[in-house]
Every structure is written in C-alpha cells, then in structure tokens.
Amino acid sequence: MTDAPPVPTTLRKRRMRARLLAAAREVFERDGFLDARVTDISAAAGVAHGSFYTYYRSKTDIFRALVAASMEELYASLGGGQEADGGHGDRPTDPLSGIDRANRRFVAMYRENTALMALFEQVTTFDPEVRAVRQAVRERMVARVRHSIERFQADGLVAADLDAEYSAHALVAMVNGLVHYWLVLGRDFDQDRLVETMTRLWAQSLGLPVPADRP
C-alpha cells in the first residue's frame, strides 16, 4: 500500500487559515471582540498558540480577515431587483418581485450572521481598517442598487430625473437600518410583514407600480 501524496504547502496553508477563521468566528461570537483572546482561538482551532502567529498578527488582524470574508457575501445579497432577469441579461419583467427576492435574501443572510454583524458594527467604531471594509462593501451594495435604478429608468419605469445614486444610498440605508434594528437591537418584528413593507416602500419611492392585490 503506497503512502498518500503529501498535501501541497499552499493547500495546507489555506486549510489552516480557514480552520483559524472558523475558530475565530466561534470565539468572537461567544465572547465578543474585547474579551476574545488569541489563546482561545488557537485552542478552538486545535493548534499550538504559536502557530496562530504564522498566519495572523493579532486578534484584530484575524477579525479583519473574518469580516472581509463574510461581509462580501452578505452585502452582495441585496441587489435591488436586478436578479429578476434570471441572470440572463434580459430586462426584468417584474421588478417588484425582484426587489422582494433581494430583500428576503438579504434578511436571510443577515439572520445567519447576526452575531457577527453586531460585532462588525462594534469594531467599526474604533478600528479604521474594519471601518474601511464596511464602507467598501456598502459602496458596492449601493452601486448594485444604483445600477438597478438606472436600468429601470432606461426602461421608462422610473422617472429619468430621479437621482439614482442618492436614491440607492437612501434605500440601502433603510433596509440595512431596519434589519439591524430588528435582529441586532432586538425589536420584535414579523419577518414577512417587515420584508413586504420594505419592498413596497422601495418600489413606491421609485414610482414603480405596486399591484392592488399585493398584500
């Protein structure tokens, strides 16, 4: 019986980084950022304390990496309805349904990452690099929504003189703020009712038609 071939160093490094990131998320969500310790992260990952520093300089460094890896997926989930075309590049035939799907997907992603999002907001207040990550992913989300508004304008569904950029900022802030207030700060909202309201406000603020029979 021949020995298994050795795992390439780069692959081992990727696996170890992923292992440490998973352990860091567990520790940060359990203990909070301020009380989390590198020794706890190393123990959760099942590696020697010194091995941690082969990959990350500090707990702040690994938190930044965790945020960068997680937030992109979260914020990319809110797209403002452009996925209503089914991903084939055609113009959306039902923009309201596309907006609704995007909002529901954003809520689902936020629910899966609520503890991390709470930490994200906390660390943003005192770490400039985490704040920069937050701004970057927010700007990408705004750009996606602005693109959707511009497509609606090109199709004659939204007034051509509406400021697409500022509208995108306002709509993103509404959705993000409401979901944060609900899931992080603990407001008692009904999920379906909240999403439906956000979708209606989103559509009506742009002047998109809302069917009379919609709940």
Digit-coded pLDDT (tens) for 131-177: 888 888 889 889 989 999 999 999 999 999 999 999 999 999 999 99
Q: Using 50, 70 and 90 to split pLDDT, how confident is the model at 130?
A: confident
Q: Tell me, yes or no, whether 6 and 69 share the same domain.
A: no
Q: Tell me, yes or no, whether 1 and 65 share the same domain.
A: no
Q: Using 50, 70 and 90 to split pLDDT, how confident is the model at 195?
A: very high
- From the list 62, 76, 96, 59, the residue with the least C-alpha distance to 200 is 96
Using the predicted structure, report yes or no on whether residue 36 has a pLDDT greater than 80.
yes
Phi-psi label, residue 178: left if phi above 0, alpha if psi -120 to 50, beta otherwise: alpha
The pLDDT value given to residue 137: 83
Say if residues 70 and 137 touch (Cβ distance below 8 Å).
no
The pLDDT value given to residue 53: 93
Q: Tell me, yes or no, whether 5 and 95 share the same domain.
A: no
Q: Tell me, yes or no, whether 69 and 144 share the same domain.
A: yes
Using the predicted structure, report yes or no on whether residue 200 has a pLDDT greater than 70.
yes
Q: Using 50, 70 and 90 to split pLDDT, how confident is the model at 87?
A: very low
Q: Tell me, yes or no, whether 29 and 49 share the same domain.
A: yes
Q: Please tell me the distance from the alpha carbon of residue 184 to that of residue 124, in angstroms, as a whole number.
A: 15
Q: Tell me, yes or no, whether 151 and 138 share the same domain.
A: yes
User: What backbone phi and psi angles, to 5 degrees, belong to 122?
Assistant: -65, -50
Q: Please tell me the distance from the alpha carbon of residue 76 to that of residue 63, in angstroms, as a whole number.
A: 20
Domain extent, residue 119, equals 59-206
Q: Tell me, yes or no, whether 68 and 142 share the same domain.
A: yes
Q: Please tell me the distance from the alpha carbon of residue 175 to that of residue 2, in angstroms, as a whole number.
A: 57
Q: Tell me, yes or no, whether 85 and 52 share the same domain.
A: no
The pLDDT value given to residue 54: 92
Query: Is the torsion defined by CA of 208, 210, 73, 123 positive or negative?
Result: positive
Helix, strand, coil shares of the chain, percent, nearest 5, are: 70, 0, 30
Domain count across the chain: 2
Q: Using 50, 70 and 90 to split pLDDT, how confident is the model at 83?
A: very low
Q: Using 50, 70 and 90 to split pLDDT, how confident is the model at 215?
A: low
Q: Using 50, 70 and 90 to split pLDDT, how confident is the model at 210?
A: confident
The pLDDT value given to residue 71: 74
Write down the pTM of the prediction.
0.79
Residue 215 forms part of a structural domain: no
The pLDDT value given to residue 39: 95
Q: Average the pLDDT over 172-183 and give the result.
A: 94
Domain boundary among 36, 56, 76: 56
The pLDDT value given to residue 89: 45
Q: Tell me, yes or no, whether 89 and 149 share the same domain.
A: yes
Determine which helix (DSSP H) or strand (DSSP E) holds 115, and give its type and residue range.
Answer: helix 114-124
